[in-house]
Structure 1
């Protein structure tokens, strides 16, 4: 009897634990997040702080649907194959059915394809390639940040107004750089048919031979330069170009170069006068942005970078989508995100039903140096909706995605 009682008691306890586990799991809403944290820390360390702040705010207000929000984050190794493996593990081992993140464009494309095949909801936070929402888009994938097309279009008025005929292009030789250069050439050629592209320098990502690139540009004798390099590659390019006076008396139009992630390392070497997209965090005086900066500085004792904005807006987008859907069900999330309106430190934006692209914009201005650090002057905010093609054009750009 004693043994039978012990066995029954153990079985009852085991059943109780088995029953309790799902109840515990049901107390949270889990989202899987993957990114190239080890290889791209300049952008992704602030990005992580941004989304962690957002999660803390969401949970402090009661969470989502009466549950706490939990993020399961993994490094994707900056490799498409590893990223797909990590995404698969987040779904099968962690039990998530919403994934988000990615930084590099070719990684974002790999996860976009994975999401389409596995029919899992994916919010691409940062990768800029237009293919994510257009030619390679699918019904399961949405994208937050302004794409290469959008940011090039934001720079185009200044490039056209300069009326420079001979242009040099320099860009990292992977999907983001290639698509940015292609968009720039296409838009400028349409606006200025007599333009000439006298040289294209496309070094491997993270392996720029700045001296050789700068010399090749100078030898081509361009009137202006379009630059797409970022991170350490940008710093090497700027320093070598400054040393050789390659930028002197030449207009430079540059994607992303006004972001503090990339200006901070240059300090007073920042190339004054370049026309850029970026984030002049200390100069923006809107109420919603000031509130974000105050909260961020209080939490992290640091100032925000653009990555901070992206991470913060990513998690608040997912929170708004889950609240609107009333669930994390994939089909309900897709329906909720089509036309979803979100408030952000940059102001309100929405996810377009036509191509799943968010209309969050970017700041355009000129690089300046203030107090020994790079910043932006003469800047303005360009709303994403003002530089995106309409629904009929999207049908041509996104033929395979319902």
Structure 2
């Protein structure tokens, strides 16, 4: 009897020890940091992506200071793709295999965003595309593993077309960088403007390679076509060269210009006293947005970096905040649970509340539309308004057709 009792006590002690070890293991696993693998063109596009990185870091700092996500701290693992889709995919493979990240995020250039979208599908890993604007990410090439934050090419073009149609200009010229984003923006603008103004003519089209615009020849070709108005999609250094040469040759004198992205501080600020007046643009007038959510973001960003935010700052910040909200809702970093959580997810961003649509995984983040103004040798946006992205999307039927296309 004594022997049996001792055996029982020993077994109970072993079970108690085993249970304690199991509980400790579960607790330790629960406290493991959440790893976000982020891939972007930091060296190739520093004007946008340096502020973007700062926005991400601010969001991570705020999340961790508040106790993390479901009790787990967040860690960022950042890789530079050097503006190359192949390098982006290799970076994604390394992040998954070596760093064992829970999710992937990032990309700036549309061709790289598409490469990572396909990678996410092949590897069945959750991917949040923060910045790339091509519509294909959520429509023609969309998949269940990929979501996108930023206002897409179609959405921004749809915001600009009503302003373009009001001008009642018949002869239009178009200039865009010759890669996925530029091609998509030009095609969408032409289709939407033609629908709004059937008598419109497109009399010239210039498509220089990204980052290698020969501004003199481009401006001359556009001038020779004698357009009434111009639609511009160039950005970054290409935009500065185009504006400088256009000012010198008088291309913009007496002509309306509608321009994607030009109102973003990343691209408007460098123009300084060369900033043209009166262009209709999408952008980010950080100095005039008075909503509570933007004020809070602005003060936190300025307090940390002693500088004003750029649009990249908003996108980087909102990317991390979106992942945090999705993981809180899912109570997990499991891919399938995240997909379910993100479908219809609402996130408060510096631009207000956005929703990730279950239909196509596109967020409803909007954009500011206004006109450029040269004020005391600096480029600004005036007469601007915020347009809700949800109002500038194709119909559900059109989206379903695009996502079903082979």
TM-score (normalised: structure 1): 0.93
**Pairing of 1:381-392 with structure 2 (within 5 A):** 381-392=386-397
Q: Which of 388, 400, 403 lines up with 1:395 in the alignment?
A: 400
**Pairing of 1:203-222 with structure 2 (within 5 A):** 203-222=208-227
Distance in 1 between residues matched to 2:179 and 2:86, nearest whole Å: 16
Which residue in the other structure is 1:61 paired with? 66
Q: Which of 339, 355, 358 lines up with 1:353 in the alignment?
A: 358
Q: How far did 1:199 drift?
A: 0.6
Which residue in the other structure is 2:103 paired with? 98
Distance in 1 between residues matched to 2:374 and 2:317, nearest whole Å: 27
Contact 2:31 2:73 in 1 (8 A): no
Contact 2:256 2:279 in 1 (8 A): yes
Which residue in the other structure is 2:383 paired with? 378
Unaligned stretches of 5+ residues in structure 2: 1-20
Distance 1:370 1:24, change over 3 A: farther
Distance in 1 between residues matched to 2:327 and 2:383, nearest whole Å: 38
**Pairing of 1:1-400 with structure 2 (within 5 A):** 23=28, 26-399=31-404
Which residue in the other structure is 1:13 paired with? none
Q: How far did 1:193 drift?
A: 1.4
Show CA shifts across 1:285-311 (max 9, x none): 111111111110000011000000000
Q: How many residues are aligned here?
A: 384
Contact 2:232 2:259 in 1 (8 A): yes
Secondary structure of the residue aligned to 1:184 is helix
Secondary structure of the residue aligned to 1:70 is strand
Distance in 2 between residues matched to 1:26 and 1:115, nearest whole Å: 26
Unaligned stretches of 5+ residues in structure 1: 1-15
Q: How far did 1:97 drift?
A: 3.0
Distance in 2 between residues matched to 1:370 and 1:300, nearest whole Å: 25
Select between 206-215 and 26-35 the one with higher mean Cα deviation: 26-35
Distance in 1 between residues matched to 2:224 and 2:316, nearest whole Å: 41
TM-score (normalised: structure 2): 0.92
Distance 1:400 1:65, change over 3 A: farther
Distance in 1 between residues matched to 2:402 and 2:137, nearest whole Å: 11
